């Protein structure tokens, strides 16, 4: 999917600069900013809304091709409001616009680690759960204790998926092992006809170092400099086997034969394989050593013009049948327990969409000051 996680340290710097400019502007004005409920500009402020209430039209800022247009049409018809949508291709493109304030957006879909950053910066408001009764439909695993919003105060999960490897079986054969060693171990690669420059890795320090860390048996959220150094060496040693560090077109490069093994996100591969002349030529898996599990989330900017409409839209998407419609359309897993009976069997039973074993999967979490070590190690490892 569309999940380019660049350096969080840089993102925080952008947020700080944006906040500084807002403060400077406020000093020259006699008007103080107010939150959605008429209180202070505290990002933790909660809108006073009732279930089903609307307070204007809805402006969405979301990943591209991530929502069934018929859902927006249905919301407009049911609640008598208009829905507009703009798109971004990375969390980092979205974040400074929301952080600067005055974006005009009511509803955004940040990924897990970005939620932590937005909360820390005070850029999103707490949800009024009284206005979201369908939040009770969430699976228990998504209802609380997520590392980026432990008390589930600011966000409600939207969709989730995994990061792993897409493989061209016409090159490797069908008995290919499910291991990161296809990239990181030249002896394994050679056994499966993988020669020369054949692989792509995500251009992302946390995801790619995370893959190397999992291959080594470590947590992808390590704060050990020694473990991180080992992972960096694996990436350095794999340079001759990597044709590109690519976070956008990795699935297309696999389909065109420009690579044979691609590091990327589950849903992208499903779509790409489905468009191939021979879908059975390709497979996707999370390696046996483990990998990343991510969650995209629904949130409301602190200065959303229409927070009550946004709450009603979140409740709308958490309806059982509408939650299923979302997953049936975009092929990403639903966090909505009530939706499962309405999800197409071929989607619900697809192990790419719904992995049967998540025990070796981890969420990427913010490691605080240690983040710069990931960035520096990745830059050095790529050379």
User: pLDDT value at position 34?
Assistant: 38
How far is the C-alpha of 53 from the C-alpha of 56, rounded, in Å?
10
How far is the C-alpha of 90 from the C-alpha of 208, rounded, in Å?
17
pLDDT per position as a tens digit, 301-327: 999 999 999 999 999 999 999 999 999
pLDDT per position as a tens digit, 112-143: 888 998 999 999 999 999 999 999 999 998 99
Residue 266 forms part of a structural domain: yes
Q: In terms of residue numbers, what domain contains 50?
A: 8-155+299-350
pLDDT per position as a tens digit, 57-85: 999 999 887 899 999 999 999 999 999 99
pLDDT per position as a tens digit, 222-236: 999 999 999 999 999
Residue 260 forms part of a structural domain: yes
User: pLDDT value at position 27?
Assistant: 36
In terms of Cα–Cα distance, which of 130, 16, 111 is closest to 66?
Answer: 111
Q: For position 211, which CATH number holds? A: 3.40.190.10
User: pLDDT value at position 4?
Assistant: 39
Query: 101: phi > 0 → left, psi -120 to 50 → alpha, else beta; which?
Result: left
Residue 107 forms part of a structural domain: yes
How far is the C-alpha of 143 from the C-alpha of 151, rounded, in Å?
9
- Residue 142 and residue 165 in one domain: no
User: pLDDT value at position 66?
Assistant: 87
* Structure tokens belonging to residue 87: 């798109």
Residue 358 forms part of a structural domain: no
- Residue 52 and residue 83 in one domain: yes
Report the C-alpha dihedral over residues 180, 182, 184, 189, rounded to 10 degrees.
160
User: pLDDT value at position 366?
Assistant: 80
Residue 355 forms part of a structural domain: no
Residue 89 forms part of a structural domain: yes
Contact by Cβ (8 Å): 260, 194:
yes
How far is the C-alpha of 80 from the C-alpha of 381, rounded, in Å?
54
User: pLDDT value at position 57?
Assistant: 98
How far is the C-alpha of 178 from the C-alpha of 327, rounded, in Å?
26
* Structure tokens belonging to residue 120: 């820390």
Residue 217 forms part of a structural domain: yes
Q: Which comes out higher in pLDDT, residue 55 or 13?
A: 55
- Residue 206 and residue 326 in one domain: no
- Residue 47 and residue 150 in one domain: yes
Residue 333 forms part of a structural domain: yes
- Residue 176 and residue 271 in one domain: yes
Helices (H), 249-319: 250-255, 266-274, 307-317
- Residue 329 and residue 212 in one domain: no
Contact by Cβ (8 Å): 177, 240:
no
Instruction: Count structural domains, the chain.
Output: 2
- Residue 222 and residue 128 in one domain: no
Is the model's pLDDT at 10 over the cut of 50?
Answer: no
- Residue 377 and residue 237 in one domain: yes
pLDDT per position as a tens digit, 149-208: 999 999 999 999 999 999 999 999 999 999 999 999 999 999 999 999 999 998 888 889
- Residue 234 and residue 108 in one domain: no
């Amino acid at each position: 999917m569309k999940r380019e996680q660049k350096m969080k340290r840089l993102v925080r710097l952008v947020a700080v600069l944006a906040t500084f400019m807002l403060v400077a502007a406020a000093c020259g004005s006699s008007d103080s900013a107010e939150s959605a409920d008429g209180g202070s500009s505290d990002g933790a402020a909660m809108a006073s809304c009732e279930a089903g209430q609307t307070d204007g039209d809805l402006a969405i800022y979301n990943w591209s091709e991530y929502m069934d247009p018929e859902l927006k049409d249905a919301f407009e018809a049911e609640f008598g409001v208009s829905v507009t949508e703009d798109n971004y291709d990375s969390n980092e493109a979205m974040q400074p616009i929301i952080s600067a304030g005055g974006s005009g957006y009511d509803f955004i879909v940040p990924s897990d680690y970005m939620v932590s950053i937005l909360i820390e910066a005070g850029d999103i408001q707490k949800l009024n759960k009284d206005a979201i009764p369908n939040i009770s439909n969430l699976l228990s695993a998504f209802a609380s204790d997520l590392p980026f919003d432990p008390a589930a105060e600011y966000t409600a999960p939207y969709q989730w998926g995994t990061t792993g490897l897409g493989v061209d079986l016409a090159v490797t054969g069908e008995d290919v092992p499910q291991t990161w060693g296809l990239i990181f171990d030249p002896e394994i690669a050679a056994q499966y006809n993988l020669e020369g420059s054949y692989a792509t890795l995500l251009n992302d320090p946390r995801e790619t170092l995370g893959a190397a860390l999992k291959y080594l048996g470590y947590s992808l959220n390590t704060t050990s400099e020694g473990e991180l150094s080992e992972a960096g060496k694996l990436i350095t040693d794999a340079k001759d086997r990597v044709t590109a560090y690519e976070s956008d077109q990795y699935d297309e490069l696999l389909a065109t034969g420009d690579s044979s093994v691609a590091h990327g996100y589950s849903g992208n591969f499903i779509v790409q394989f489905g468009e191939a002349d021979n879908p059975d030529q390709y497979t996707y898996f999370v390696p046996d050593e483990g990998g990343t599990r991510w969650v995209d989330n629904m949130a409301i900017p602190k200065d959303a013009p229409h927070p009550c409409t946004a709450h009603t839209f979140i409740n709308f998407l958490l309806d059982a049948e509408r939650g299923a419609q979302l997953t049936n359309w975009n092929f990403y897993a639903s966090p909505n327990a009530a939706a499962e009976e309405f999800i197409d069997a071929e989607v619900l039973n697809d192990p790419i969409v719904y992995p049967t074993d998540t025990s070796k999967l981890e969420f990427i979490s913010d490691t605080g000051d240690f983040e710069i070590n990931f960035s520096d190690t990745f830059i050095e490892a790529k050379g």
